[in-house]
Amino acid sequence: MSALLLVAALRDPPSVTALDADGWTALIGAARAEQMIGTLAYRLQGLPMPDAAARILADARLSADQGRIAALWEAEMARRALAPLGVPVVLLKGTAFVAAGLSAGVGRSIGDLDILVPRESIDAVEAALLAAGWEWVKPDPYDDAYYRQWMHELPPLIHRERDRMIDVHHTILPLTARVRPDASLLLADSFELGNGLSMLSREDVLVHAAAHLFADGDLAGGLRNLWDIHCLLDEFDAPGFRDALIARAAHHGLAREMARAVRLADALYVPLPLAGGVRGGLDVSSSALSDTSPPAAPPASGRGARFADRLYRRRLLGRDGWGVQRRKLSEFAFYLRGHYLRMPPAMLARHLWTKWRKGYRPPG
Amino acid sequence: MRHVFHVKIGPIGFRVGSDWRQPIAQLETLYRDYPEPDDGIPDFSVRLFAARPWRRFVRPAVMIGGDYTIPDTAPLPLSLGLLAAEMGMNLQMALAQRRYLLLHASCVERDGRAVLMTGISGAGKSTLAALLMARGWRLMGDEFALVDPETGLLHGFPRLVSLKNESVAVIEAALPRARFGPLQLATPKGDIRHLVPDADSIARMAEPARAAAILFPRFGFEAAQRPVLPSETFVRLTQASTNYVAMGERGFDALTALVRGVPAVAIDYPDAATAVAQVEAVAA
């Protein structure tokens, strides 16, 4: 499974020196499929490797650097459009990481611009963005109405000249989800980055990442999300931080998701301590990655949680040497689960039925 | 992937995987004189796969995937598997190539001087490139020209030449001893037949060249030509590039250097013989 190669390379970069041509090909394929090729490229920079691999990774670094410039520019464009409103504009996800110079942003691919604004300002924000050249993406009235009534964000907008999407959030989970994070606290504790834009507090950045990963959706892109969480944990590490983090997550109703995110990030990405002269990360076929958690992981809450962790790991690591998601059944199960978490059963049935009639088919 | 093929075209290594043997067998035959990717590590992977397992056998339809894809690409019938592979390789380049500035152009070279020909689909890029190859020019490619931002040199990408519709017969007549792929009728782009570049073009494909002229040919008009200012050339080439925006400042620098240093000419032509004479006169 090539996703294991990717995880091993990220947690223990020197392990790549043992790869043959097919190993490199599979590693690069997985990294591209997970949109982590830039992250990998920075992580492996300077290590001895075949010229062809070095060239591909050098290209990936250039591409990530350009992506960073474009993401920051897009944030600046949003800032200019929204400045007259005088509302806080909180950067989320990748753009926040690069704007704040966090290690999670190094080489990270950034697609859309995600921002959080106060819910009471959402109409004004929408109007300002439309006036500044953003346009609706979703022409379908059902989708549009669905977003406005039930989602945690406006229907996505795209800028007509720069062709970049913006997702305007007023909270971090759909309104239909069972969990209702405290959006006003997210805003109240956000802080200014010094460029007219803000980002979430340290704890809330992590809570958002965990919510995004485990409470909203089907775990597509989960390895990248977990890498974000690993980097943030590592960077914010201080006595008591993890306790404060779990307490904060509990306030938002996301303690279970946060604990799972921490556990899995540690299990997948924290290098194992030296044991018997062999580094755990070196041997990707070892049980280290597939079964046991390293000592650094906090205790899981019972056997059920452990079992669930294993399912998540299965879902996260199911790519073959071509970067293709295998284990279609597990992918489909997580697709259903993602929807189940998003909305009550009757509503889910209605939604899926409408989507099916319109011709949308889930993966599987 | 059940069947796999590796090839290096110009400086770019590819791996093509397929659920079916047929497209891979065709690639192996047509690309038999091409080298393998450097270090055995391809730059890009392309996948030709069945949308559902049973579609490998029942009404087989080839989906095009790979490292980079665009959603909702329509599948092709298995008889067009070779075309699907070529489209897959082009797609990887168009979506993800960042080492070189890509220009949607054909390119030929003689005595170290490369001539770029670009224009809308149907302008005759492929036909002209193949005819010039028949007259002893080295074919550097008929789809993409690769501009190296570091050196300003053009790198070849001499994959199979994709001949369409009327030009198939024209080139069959001009290159009677050349190797061709199967005639693929009624593709989304009309009738297509692939032409294998000649031995010299393949043997020297790793050799970059300096651009000597940029041409904008236009088929179906009375013979005429006019110089094109660098400003207009710049704008036309930004539109002919799939990665100009993504390349950022490097792309801008590479393109401005190219249009400042290389004369550009718009050429109208009524028939192939006239066009070849015009190109050779301009490039002389």
Task: Give the model confidence (pLDDT) of B59-103 as tens digits.
Answer: 889 999 999 998 877 899 999 999 999 999 999 999 999 999 999
In a domain, A362, yes or no: no
If asked whether residues B52 and B145 sit together in one domain, one would say: no
From chain B, pick out residues whose CB is under 8 angstroms from the CB of A53: 39, 41
The answer to whether A21 contacts B43, with C-beta atoms less than 8 Å apart, is no
Q: What is the ipTM of this complex?
A: 0.93
In a domain, A6, yes or no: yes
Q: What CA–CA distance (Å, rounded) separates A313 from A291?
A: 9
Is residue B150 within 8 angstroms of chain A, CB to CB? no
Show which of B48, B72, B96 is a domain's final residue. B96
CATH number at residue B121: 3.40.50
| Closest-approach residue (CA) in chain A for B17 | A322
Nearest Cα of chain B lies from the Cα of A232 at a distance, in angstroms, of 28
The pLDDT tens digits of the residues spanning A292-342 come to 333 334 445 566 667 777 777 877 887 888 888 776 666 666 676 776 666
CATH number at residue A175: 3.30.460.40
* pLDDT value of residue A114: 96
Q: Residue B18's domain spans which residues?
A: 3-96
Is residue B70 within 8 angstroms of chain A, CB to CB? no
Q: What percent of chain A has pLDDT over 90?
A: 61
Q: Give the global pTM.
A: 0.88
Bridge partners (DSSP) of residue B210 are B113
Of the candidates B146, B110, B139, B111, the one whose C-alpha atom is nearest the C-alpha of residue B125 is B139
DSSP states of B40-73 as a string? G--SEEEEEEESSGGGGTSS-EEEEEESS--TTP
Is residue B35 within 8 angstroms of chain A, CB to CB? no
CB atoms within 10 A of CB B273: 10
Show which of B67, B96, B125 is a domain's final residue. B96
If asked whether residues B237 and B183 sit together in one domain, one would say: yes
Q: Do β-strands B190-195 and B224-228 pair in parallel, antiparallel, or remain unpaired?
A: unpaired
Angle at A177 between CA A353 and CA A267, to 5 degrees: 110
Contact (CB, 8 A) for A177 and A215? yes
Mutate which: A20, A25, A161, A328, vs B, most B CBs within 10 A: A25
The pLDDT tens digits of the residues spanning A12-42 come to 999 999 999 999 999 999 999 999 999 999 9
What are phi and psi for residue A161, nearest 5 degrees? -95, -45
Q: Name the packing angle between helices A328-342 and A302-316 (round to 10°).
A: 120
Q: Is the pLDDT of residue B235 over 50?
A: yes
Q: Do β-strands B12-18 and B3-9 pair in parallel, antiparallel, or remain unpaired?
A: antiparallel
Contact (CB, 8 A) for B18 and B2? yes
- The residue among A283 and B108 whose pLDDT is bigger is B108
Q: In what order do the strands lie in the sheet with A113-116?
A: A134-136, A157-159, A165-169, A113-116, A90-91, A198-199, A191-192
Residues 6+ apart with CB under 8 A from A130: A157
The two tokens of residue B25 are 């067998």
Q: Give the confidence band of A218 by pLDDT, cuts at 50, 70, 90.
A: low
The answer to whether A22 contacts B40, with C-beta atoms less than 8 Å apart, is yes
Is residue A363 within 8 angstroms of chain B, CB to CB? no
Kindly list the distances between the CA atom of residue B178 and the CA atoms of A210, A246, A324, B142, in Å, as whole numbers in the listed order: 60, 70, 38, 16
Kindly list the distances between the CA atom of residue B269 and the CA atoms of B63, B200, B218, B244, B266, in Å, as whole numbers in the listed order: 38, 28, 6, 29, 10
Is residue A323 within 8 angstroms of chain B, CB to CB? yes
If asked whether residues B214 and B260 sit together in one domain, one would say: yes
Q: Residue A311's domain spans which residues?
A: 2-357
Show which of B96, B128, B144 is a domain's final residue. B96
For range B248-261, the mean pLDDT: 96
| Maximum separation of any 2 CA atoms in chain A, in Å | 64
Among A129-138, A158-167, A338-347, the minimum mean pLDDT is found in: A338-347
If asked whether residues B149 and B113 sit together in one domain, one would say: yes
Contact (CB, 8 A) for A214 and A259? no
If asked whether residues B32 and B126 sit together in one domain, one would say: no
Q: What CA–CA distance (Å, rounded) separates B26 from B21?
A: 9
Bridge partners (DSSP) of residue A200 are none
Q: Is the pLDDT of residue A168 over 50?
A: yes
The pLDDT tens digits of the residues spanning B183-209 come to 998 888 889 999 999 999 999 999 999
| Closest-approach residue (CA) in chain B for A324 | B66
- Please tell me the total count of domains within chain B: 2
If asked whether residues B142 and B223 sit together in one domain, one would say: yes
If asked whether residues B232 and B210 sit together in one domain, one would say: yes
Q: Is the pLDDT of residue A272 over 60?
A: yes
If asked whether residues B54 and B165 sit together in one domain, one would say: no
Residue B232 is classified by DSSP as: H
Residue environment code for B192-215, b if the CB has 16+ CB neighbours within 10 A, otherwise e: bbbbbbbeebbeebeebbebbbbb
* Helical residues (DSSP H) of chain A, grouped into ranges: 2-11, 21-33, 37-43, 51-82, 93-99, 122-131, 141-150, 183-188, 202-214, 222-236, 241-251, 255-269, 287-290, 302-316, 328-342, 345-357
Is residue B72 within 8 angstroms of chain A, CB to CB? no
In a domain, A186, yes or no: yes
The pLDDT tens digits of the residues spanning A84-95 come to 999 999 999 999
- The residue among A8 and A346 whose pLDDT is bigger is A8
Block residue for tokens 């460029």: A195
Contact (CB, 8 A) for B75 and B89? no
If asked whether residues B79 and B202 sit together in one domain, one would say: no
- Please tell me the total count of domains within chain A: 1
Contact (CB, 8 A) for B179 and B243? no
Interface of A with B in 22-51 (CB under 8 A): 22, 24-25, 28-29, 32-33, 50-51
In a domain, A287, yes or no: yes
